[in-house]
Amino acid sequence: MHTVRPVGSSGYGSAAMTIAIVVTVLIVLFGCWWSLICSIAGIALASNASSAGARGDYDSAKSNSNASIGCSITGGVSTLVGMAILIGIAVSGS
| Range of the structural domain that residue 81 is part of | 14-92
Average pLDDT, consecutive stretches of 10 residues, N- to C-terminus, the chain (94 residues):
51 81 89 86 92 89 92 92 90 79
Residue 85 lies in a domain: yes
pTM here is 0.78
Residue 1 lies in a domain: no
- The CA–CA distances, whole Å, from 40 to 29, 45, 56, 59, 88 equal 15, 9, 24, 22, 27
Residue 2 lies in a domain: no
Residue 79 lies in a domain: yes
Residue 9 lies in a domain: no
48 contacts: CB under 8 Å, gap ≥ 6: 13, 60, 64
pLDDT of residue 67: 94
pLDDT of residue 9: 47
pLDDT of residue 8: 47
pLDDT of residue 35: 85
Q: How many domains does the chain have?
A: 1
